[in-house]
Amino acid sequence: MNKNEKKALFSFLFIYIGSTVLILFILLLSYYKKEIDMVDRQCSIEMRSAANMLKANILNAYMEKKSFIPTNLKNENLKYGLFNKKGKIIYSQLENSKVNFDKEASHNETHSFHVAKLEEQHDEKIDIKYIVIETNQLISETQKLKIYISIILLLATCFIGCIGYLLAKLLLKPVREKVEQMDKFIKDSAHELNTPIAVLMTSTSALKQGRNTEKMLKYIISSAKQISQLYNDMHYSAFSEQDVFLDVNIDFAELIKDSVEFFQDIAITKGIKINVELKKCDIFMDKTKTQKIVNNLISNAIKYSNKDTQITVKLIGTIFSVQDFGIGIEQKDQEEIFKRYKRGENFEGGFGIGLDIVNEVCKEYALKISLKSKKNEGSTFFIDFKSVAK
């Protein structure tokens, strides 16, 4: 993974994980507040109920002229204390004796308190003035809830991080493949253009010196045509979506004949003979796209043919075929060969976009394309133009 890919990956993870965790944190915070409010209300109800029960027991004891005997509350989470009007302890189970008698409900770092007062008319006859209920349930539940939410947030962050990483890898995979393909394409283009340019420069130099004039001219023409064909494929591949195309009536046999004549100068430099068998056929297509099909199949046939062999170009009915006697294509590669940047095993390289262009045009016009090939014996491409025949 290169520097730019790492930067893109970390940026994606930061935004994805950050935004997702933030939303999750807000949801958990809302849940936390609701749970705390619910526990607080529950504690208040329990403490108020316990205080009322104690108050009733104290008053009953007073009315029956008996002494009130403190007992433990049924709820083990609640402790209580009884205080006189001066705030002195009469009886206490409290763990924290510092109580604010002016507030009915109060909290400190460890406990919650509820203060109930006995009615004024009983002040002079009953020593008990304040009933204080204490519990640590709210604080305990708050701490448990914080731990619970922290664990959830941590596990969720780890899970989201893993999912984000996998998503990023999946999203970056096609981009990475595209970058690798483009990198390969640039390297191959440099190699592919190097051969005709080198031949062109050598032939021009020899021509200046007056050596083998006729032969050098053939090499110059062949190299120029190869460069032209390579440029046309690159231009079509890069800008075909922006160009305007128009379907017209085409004399298909005549178009093929023109293409064969164009490639004769390239074929002759490898000692390849192009045999032609053409029957009259009219089609309705864009001329540029039709030319792309014919040119790329003939160009590939020359490129992947052995020296001093032959190529057969036929148009019988609506079937256009190009046969070569070159390196051939293995069965396992025959489906892949139409993909962009997929090349044959020829040492001369190639961009791997020619057959992709052919395949795309065939799909656009519903032309049926097929291939027969055998390793080290050659290949034959067939295209049926029945869907556009006049």
What's the pLDDT tens digit per position in 200-252? 787 787 777 777 777 778 778 877 877 877 777 677 666 666 566 789 999 99
Amino acid 328: pLDDT:
85
> Mean pLDDT across the chain, nearest whole number?
83
Amino acid 119: pLDDT:
73
Amino acid 346: pLDDT:
42
Condensed to tens digits (0 to 9), the pLDDT of residues 329-388 reads 887 777 777 665 554 444 344 445 678 888 889 999 999 999 998 888 889 999 999 999
Average pLDDT (193-198) is 72
Between 17 and 228, where is the model more confident?
17
d(CA 284, CA 247) in angstroms, rounded, equals 6
d(CA 223, CA 200) in angstroms, rounded, equals 6
Pair 107, 113: CB distance under 8 Å:
yes
Q: How far is residue 192 CA from its own chain's centroid?
A: 34
d(CA 126, CA 5) in angstroms, rounded, equals 81
For residue 22, report the phi and psi dihedrals to the nearest 5 degrees. Answer: -60, -45
What Cα–Cα distance (Å) separates residue 198 from each residue in 28, 192, 354? Answer: 69, 11, 22
Amino acid 177: pLDDT:
75
Which amino acid is present at 116? A
- Closest by CA to 136, choosing from 103, 96, 86, 82, is 96
∠ CA 285-245-228, rounded to 5°: 95
∠ CA 38-40-44, rounded to 5°: 120
Sheet holding 89-92, edge to edge: 89-92, 78-83, 130-135, 112-117, 105-107
Sheet holding 310-316, edge to edge: 273-278, 310-316, 319-324, 378-384, 368-374
Instruction: Give me the count of residues in the chain.
Output: 390
Report CA dihedral (114, 115, 121, 124) to the nearest 10 degrees. Answer: 140
The tokens describing 281, both together, are: 């056929």
Amino acid 240: pLDDT:
60
∠ CA 326-362-376, rounded to 5°: 15
Amino acid 306: pLDDT:
87
Average pLDDT (53-67) is 86
Amino acid 350: pLDDT:
45
The tokens describing 51, both together, are: 């205080």
Q: What percent of the chain has pLDDT over 90?
A: 32
Amino acid 303: pLDDT:
86
Q: What percent of the chain has pLDDT over 70?
A: 87
d(CA 23, CA 165) in angstroms, rounded, equals 19
Q: How far is residue 363 CA from its own chain's centroid?
A: 28
Amino acid 281: pLDDT:
94
Q: How many C-beta atoms surround the C-beta of residue 122 within 10 A?
A: 14
Amino acid 349: pLDDT:
43
∠ CA 290-296-298, rounded to 5°: 105
Q: How confident is the model at residue 324 (pLDDT cuts 50, 70, 90)?
A: very high
- Looking only at the bridges linking them, the beta strands covering 310-316 and 319-324 are antiparallel
Amino acid 351: pLDDT:
41
